């Protein structure tokens, strides 16, 4: 019994994937759980695993090729099956048309639709009959909606929400971070042509969808404050001296920790807007925007309020490194309740960040720089940092956001307060 | 419009029909001298005499058979059972005679008979005397089955049942006899096979009949406070069943809960669900849920009996689930 290998949905929002590399090749013996290939999703590079034991046959997608979710890539047959024993014997339907069939790019013989069991990851959308009818009538693709019913069933209210929001066909739980573009994603042109068209990569497509789904429908407003970082900087230097080779604590780690603690006191800012209700989180999971080649992603530091600065520092470092290598697992970049974006390393004093829906707020962190400040009637040099809180006005009113920012400022200006 | 109790509305229907048509007569245990176990036949013996208000022995199968014979001979009998729990003894006459004779005589012998009496649980009457029989009766081709919930419907449906040329089962309720409501005077006939929207709403349809209309209306009030607009559809007639009203309501609300006093397995609600999934499939936003008696013989213990019966709370919980609120 042959098992078909499909392009599987390896992230919650994946619609197609690019085959980066085949680890197994035509004729290789494979075991269930073996990595067959690496696939670039809209977020990361993921392993495509074998779902059965046998011999890999009829590999039909070449490395570098982009393949829609659900499309067949190869089959796994039992060692004794005719197809595995040699071409031209037995089952004609499966016999490759020519010796070139071993070449990865050759097209396979026409085949029937995959059996449902093997396509578990590309399972059909669950939707109520009414939702299906409404989707058909309004031309909405159900696959692009996140169902709010039991087991992810798409129901009437999901269609109504989608109709109310032009960009709502984007999954509300998709995770790419909404911060301004990362450094120089466009290659320097080496030709004399007046322009160059660069196709959108998976991650750029997702970023485009996600940002349009945020700044359009989400009513943003921004609050900025300047924080004196003198004492935080002293504390950081002292801690890093003690830590030595054990890793360094960054200003961003301190901001993440302080923000997480401030959120425990201001639950209103640790929330998700959910169309017909607001989910106030009792746990604090902070997404930290990381620029990666040709995009950005927001790995999540879970329970950041309960972690030490050292734990946050290590985790942030590890997540950022794996994000840059595109080795994050989906659970590592989804589920944040609040996000932090830092462009201080690019000497940005202050900026506004785009909210990562369904979160209600995002903190944009500028650089720590020496500035002349009036203290006790004299001008002194102090290390200062600007914070800008982007808020969803549907969840957070102006004064509510301001009070949160005030708490955060107090914590950063008096780091010992974090011990309270 | 005068306000009457359910029992007096039935009494009025019987009196008016007996006045209108001399072939109508009433028979059953204690219907004459005692004026009915629940006083539905009060004053009828005095007005119409012992030839038309007949006290019978305690022998349900026997007097049901006498009734069928009288109907074959051209009379229009109304047979009262003290409760439908006792009518089980008469099922052979109801199912094998009353429901079959028109068919087996090739349409020559109609059986214009009414079998009526209280159905379902009252309070602490225990397992053998607390049963809801409607799914048994509505199962049988050749019978019509109605289950009025209000005094007005009780009068109107009993009059329609007496005038119908087929055997009609009228399911009353011990706990309903004393309820009051406005009842139109004189010629008030409710057609068999028509449901009634007892309360209009937009978010969820609550289907009910007979005694479950009361908890369904209470549930609708509670749901209103929670921001859910419930429509209460009283089936009134269980066979034939008003598919049109059910489908129109679900087409509007997209969600449905069915409440009944009977047990879940093969119950009336199962028939309602069948209609809705078949005729309103594309209108459904959630599976239809049912609220029934617990699938056990009715407990005698007061707390357990309450726990076993459908209640406004159970209907509210089911309605919230089909609205995806819980």
Residue B282's CATH number = 3.40.50.920
| Among the partner residues B282, B286, B324, nearest to A133 by beta-carbon distance | B282
Establish if A126 touches chain B: CB-CB under 8 angstroms: no
CATH number at residue B119: 3.40.50.970
- Using pLDDT thresholds of 50, 70 and 90, give the confidence band for residue B39: very high
CB spacing of B281 vs A129 below 8 angstroms = yes
| C-alpha separations of A50 from A4, A5, A7, A47, A397 in Å | 10, 7, 11, 10, 50
Chain A residue nearest residue B284, CA to CA: A130
- Distance (Å, rounded) from C-alpha A395 to C-alpha B244? 44
A309-324 vs A251-265: helix axis angle to the nearest 10?
120
Smallest CA–CA distance, residue B292 to chain A, in Å, is: 23
Q: Which is catalytic among the residues B16, B17, B29, B60?
A: B60
Establish if A274 touches chain B: CB-CB under 8 angstroms: no
pLDDT the model gives residue B293: 97
Q: Tell me the pLDDT of chain B averaged across its residues.
A: 97
| Among the partner residues B281, B282, B324, nearest to A155 by beta-carbon distance | B324
Task: Give me the numbers of helices (H) and strands (E) for chain A, helices first please.
Answer: 8, 18
In a domain, B187, yes or no: no
Residue spans of beta strands (DSSP E) within A69-219: 72-77
CB A6 within 8 A of CB A114: yes
Of the three residues B182, B214, B246, the one that is the final residue of a domain is B182
State yes or no: pLDDT of B188 exceeds 50: yes
Mutation pick from A134, A149, A155 vs chain B, by most beta carbons of B within 10 Å, is A155
Establish if A156 touches chain B: CB-CB under 8 angstroms: yes
Percent of chain B, pLDDT > 90?
99
The question of whether B129 is a catalytic residue gets the answer yes
Mutation pick from A126, A127, A129 vs chain B, by most beta carbons of B within 10 Å, is A129
Q: What is the mean pLDDT of residues B306-321?
A: 97
Chain B residue nearest residue A127, CA to CA: B285
- Distance (Å, rounded) from C-alpha A22 to C-alpha A37? 4
Which domains are seen in chain A, by residue range? 3-121 (2.40.50.100), 125-164 (4.10.320.10), 203-419 (3.30.559.10)
CB A334 within 8 A of CB A313: no
B70-87 pLDDT tens trace: 999 999 999 999 999 999
| Among the partner residues B254, B281, B324, nearest to A149 by beta-carbon distance | B324
Residues of B in contact with A131 (CB under 8 A): 285
Q: A124: which residues sit within 8 A by CB, 6+ positions away? A: none
In a domain, B237, yes or no: yes
CB spacing of B324 vs A132 below 8 angstroms = no
The question of whether A25 is a catalytic residue gets the answer no
Taking residue A384's Cβ as centre, other Cβ atoms within 10 Å add up to 19
Establish if A157 touches chain B: CB-CB under 8 angstroms: yes
Read off the tokens for A401.
């956001």
CB spacing of A129 vs B286 below 8 angstroms = no
Smallest CA–CA distance, residue A149 to chain B, in Å, is: 6
Q: Which is catalytic among the residues B129, B139, B243, B279?
A: B129
CB spacing of B283 vs A130 below 8 angstroms = yes
Spacing of C-alpha A160 from chain mean position: 26
CB spacing of A157 vs B284 below 8 angstroms = no
Establish if A327 touches chain B: CB-CB under 8 angstroms: no
Q: What angle do CA A234, A403, A316 make, to 5 degrees?
A: 45
CB B270 within 8 A of CB B292: no
Question: Do residues B162 and B248 both lie within one domain?
Answer: no
Question: Do residues B26 and B159 both lie within one domain?
Answer: yes
Residues of A in contact with B324 (CB under 8 A): 148-150, 155, 157
B42-70 pLDDT tens trace: 999 999 999 999 999 999 999 999 999 99
- Distance (Å, rounded) from C-alpha A97 to C-alpha A86? 12
Omega cis (within 30) before B240: yes
Domain ranges, residue B172? 3-182
Burial of B235 (0-12, 13-18, 19+ CB in 10 A): buried
Chain B residue nearest residue A137, CA to CA: B282
Among residues B170, B189, B210, the alpha carbon closest in space to that of B80 is found at: B170
- Distance (Å, rounded) from C-alpha A217 to C-alpha A239? 43
In a domain, B128, yes or no: yes
A 73-112 residues with CB below 8 A of B?
Answer: none
Chain B residue nearest residue A133, CA to CA: B282
Chain A residue nearest residue B251, CA to CA: A130
Residues of A in contact with B281 (CB under 8 A): 129
Task: Give me the numbers of helices (H) and strands (E) for chain B, helices first please.
Answer: 13, 14
In a domain, B38, yes or no: yes
Chain B residue nearest residue A159, CA to CA: B285
Residues of B in contact with A155 (CB under 8 A): 285-286, 324
Chain A residue nearest residue B322, CA to CA: A149
Taking residue A208's Cβ as centre, other Cβ atoms within 10 Å add up to 13
CB spacing of B283 vs A150 below 8 angstroms = no
Beta-strand pair B196-199/B230-234: antiparallel
Chain B residue nearest residue A148, CA to CA: B324
Question: Do residues B74 and B119 both lie within one domain?
Answer: yes
B228-270 pLDDT tens trace: 999 999 999 999 999 999 999 999 999 999 999 999 999 999 9
For residue A26, how many C-alpha atoms fall within 13 Å in the half-sphere facing its CB? Answer: 18
Query: Would you give per-residue pLDDT tens digits along chain A (420 residues)?
Result: 688 898 888 877 788 888 888 999 888 889 988 899 999 887 788 889 898 888 898 888 888 888 888 888 998 988 767 654 333 333 333 333 333 333 344 344 444 444 433 334 456 788 999 998 888 888 888 888 888 888 888 998 888 887 776 443 433 333 333 333 344 445 455 556 656 666 677 777 777 777 777 777 888 999 999 999 999 999 899 888 888 777 788 999 999 999 999 999 998 899 998 878 888 898 999 999 988 877 888 999 999 999 999 899 999 999 998 988 888 888 899 899 999 999 998 999 999 999 998 899 999 999 999 999 998 889 999 999 999 999 998 888 889 999 999 999 999 999 888 877
Q: Residue A157: in which H helix or E strand, if any? A: helix A156-164
CB spacing of A130 vs B324 below 8 angstroms = no
Of the three residues B182, B208, B237, the one that is the final residue of a domain is B182
Return the bridge partners of A372, or none.
A381
Question: Do residues B106 and B14 both lie within one domain?
Answer: yes
Question: Do residues B132 and B64 both lie within one domain?
Answer: yes
Among residues B47, B37, B55, B57, the alpha carbon closest in space to that of B12 is found at: B47
CB B120 within 8 A of CB B210: yes
Read off the tokens for B83.
């409760």
CB spacing of B285 vs A128 below 8 angstroms = yes
Among residues A53, A62, A73, the alpha carbon closest in space to that of A6 is found at: A73
pLDDT the model gives residue A327: 85
Smallest CA–CA distance, residue A156 to chain B, in Å, is: 6
Question: Do residues B127 and B239 both lie within one domain?
Answer: no
Per the structure, the count of domains in chain B is: 2
Q: Roughly how many angstroms between the first and final C-alpha of chain A, as a whole number?
A: 64
Residues of A in contact with B283 (CB under 8 A): 129-130, 133
Question: Do residues B222 and B84 both lie within one domain?
Answer: no
In a domain, B188, yes or no: no
- Listed range (A326-335, B196-205, B289-298) with the worst mean pLDDT: A326-335
ipTM of the complex: 0.75
CB spacing of A155 vs B285 below 8 angstroms = yes
CB spacing of B283 vs A129 below 8 angstroms = yes
Question: Do residues B176 and B201 both lie within one domain?
Answer: no
In a domain, B51, yes or no: yes
CB spacing of A130 vs B284 below 8 angstroms = yes
Residues of B in contact with A145 (CB under 8 A): none
- Distance (Å, rounded) from C-alpha B299 to C-alpha B310? 14
- Distance (Å, rounded) from C-alpha A299 to C-alpha A286? 8
Question: Do residues B177 and B205 both lie within one domain?
Answer: no
- Distance (Å, rounded) from C-alpha B68 to C-alpha B101? 9
Among residues B266, B234, B232, B249, the alpha carbon closest in space to that of B138 is found at: B266
| Segment A196-203 long-range contacts (CB within 8 Å, at least 24 positions apart) | A201/A294, A201/A295, A202/A14, A202/A16, A202/A17, A202/A18, A202/A40, A202/A41, A202/A42, A202/A43, A203/A42, A203/A43, A203/A176, A203/A292, A203/A294, A203/A295, A203/A297
Residues of A in contact with B254 (CB under 8 A): 130, 156
Burial of B106 (0-12, 13-18, 19+ CB in 10 A): exposed
Chain B residues contacting A via beta carbons under 8 Å: 254, 281-286, 324
| Among the partner residues A128, A132, A133, nearest to B286 by beta-carbon distance | A128
Question: Do residues B206 and B169 both lie within one domain?
Answer: no
Residues of B in contact with A128 (CB under 8 A): 284-286
pTM: predicted TM-score of the whole model, two decimal places: 0.54
Of the three residues B135, B156, B182, the one that is the final residue of a domain is B182
CB spacing of B282 vs A149 below 8 angstroms = no
Question: Do residues B151 and B57 both lie within one domain?
Answer: yes
Smallest CA–CA distance, residue B285 to chain A, in Å, is: 5
Question: Do residues B167 and B265 both lie within one domain?
Answer: no
């Amino acid at each position: 019994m042959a098992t078909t290998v499909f392009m599987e949905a390896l992230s919650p929002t994946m619609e197609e994937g690019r085959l980066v590399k085949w680890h197994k090749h035509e004729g290789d013996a494979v075991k269930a759980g073996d990595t067959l290939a690496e696939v670039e999703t809209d977020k990361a590079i993921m392993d495509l695993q074998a779902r059965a034991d046998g011999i890999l046959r009829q590999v039909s997608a070449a490395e570098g090729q982009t393949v829609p979710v659900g499309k067949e890539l190869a089959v796994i047959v039992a060692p004794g099956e005719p197809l595995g024993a040699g071409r031209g014997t037995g089952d004609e339907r499966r016999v490759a048309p020519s010796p070139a069939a071993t070449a990865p790019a050759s097209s396979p013989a026409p085949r029937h639709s995959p059996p449902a069991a093997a396509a578990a990851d590309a399972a059909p959308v669950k939707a109520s009959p009414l939702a299906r009818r409404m989707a058909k009538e309004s031309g909405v693709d159900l696959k692009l909606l996140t169902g709010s019913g039991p087991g992810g069933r798409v129901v009437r209210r999901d269609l109504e929400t989608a109709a109310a929001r032009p960009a709502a066909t984007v999954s509300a739980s998709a995770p790419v971070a909404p911060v301004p573009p990362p450094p120089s994603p466009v290659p320097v042109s080496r030709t004399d042509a007046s322009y160059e068209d660069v196709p959108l990569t998976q991650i750029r497509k997702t970023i485009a969808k996600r940002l349009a789904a945020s700044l359009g429908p989400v009513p943003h407003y921004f609050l900025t404050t300047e924080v004196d970082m003198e004492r935080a900087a002293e504390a950081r230097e002292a801690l890093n001296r003690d830590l030595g080779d054990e890793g360094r604590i960054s200003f961003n780690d301190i901001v993440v920790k302080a923000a997480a603690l401030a959120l425990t006191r201001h639950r209103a800012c640790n929330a998700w807007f959910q169309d017909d209700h607001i989910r106030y989180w009792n746990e604090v999971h902070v997404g930290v925007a990381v620029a990666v080649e040709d995009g950005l992603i927001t790995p999540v530091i879970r329970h950041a309020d309960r972690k030490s600065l050292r734990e946050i520092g290590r985790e942030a470092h590890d997540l950022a490194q794996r994000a840059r290598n595109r080795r994050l697992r989906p659970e590592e970049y989804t589920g944040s309740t609040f996000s932090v974006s830092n462009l201080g390393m690019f000497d940005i004093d202050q900026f506004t960040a785009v909210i990562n829906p369904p979160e209600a707020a995002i903190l944009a962190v500028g650089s720590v720089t020496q500035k002349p400040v009036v203290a006790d009637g004299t001008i002194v040099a102090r290390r200062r940092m600007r914070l800008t809180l982007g808020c969803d006005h549907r969840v957070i009113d102006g004064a509510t956001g301001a009070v949160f920012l005030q708490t955060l400022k107090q914590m950063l200006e008096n780091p010992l307060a974090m011990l309270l | 419009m005068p306000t009457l109790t359910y029992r007096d509305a039935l009494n009025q229907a019987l009196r008016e029909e007996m006045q209108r048509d001399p072939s109508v007569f009433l028979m059953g245990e204690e219907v004459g001298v005692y004026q009915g176990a629940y006083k539905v036949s009060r004053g009828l013996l005095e007005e119409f005499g012992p030839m038309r208000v007949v006290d019978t022995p305690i022998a349900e199968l026997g007097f049901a058979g006498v009734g069928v014979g009288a109907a074959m001979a051209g009379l229009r009998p109304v047979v009262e059972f003290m409760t439908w729990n006792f009518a089980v003894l008469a099922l052979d006459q109801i199912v094998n005679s009353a429901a079959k004779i028109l068919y087996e005589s090739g349409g020559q012998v109609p059986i214009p008979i009414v079998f009526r009496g209280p159905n379902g649980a009252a309070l602490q009457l225990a397992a053998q005397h607390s049963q809801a029989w409607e799914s048994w009766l509505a199962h049988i081709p050749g019978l019509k089955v109605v289950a009025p919930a209000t005094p007005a419907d009780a009068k109107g449906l009993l009059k329609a049942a007496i005038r119908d040329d087929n055997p009609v089962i009228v399911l009353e309720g011990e706990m309903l006899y004393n309820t009051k409501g406005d009842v139109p005077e004189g010629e008030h006939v409710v057609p068999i096979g028509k449901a009634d929207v007892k309360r209009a709403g937009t978010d969820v349809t609550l289907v009910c009949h007979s005694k479950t209309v009361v908890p369904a209306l209470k549930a609708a009030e509670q749901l209103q406070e929670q921001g859910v607009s419930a429509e209460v559809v009283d089936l009134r007639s269980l066979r034939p069943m008003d598919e049109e009203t059910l489908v129109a309501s679900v087409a509007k609300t997209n969600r449905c809960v069915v409440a009944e006093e009977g047990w879940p397995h093969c119950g009336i609600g199962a028939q309602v669900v069948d209609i809705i999934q078949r005729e309103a499939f594309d209108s459904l936003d959630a599976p239809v849920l049912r609220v029934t008696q617990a699938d056990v013989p009715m407990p005698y213990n007061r707390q357990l009996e309450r726990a076993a019966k459908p209640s406004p709370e159970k209907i509210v919980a089911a309605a919230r689930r089909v609205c995806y609120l819980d």
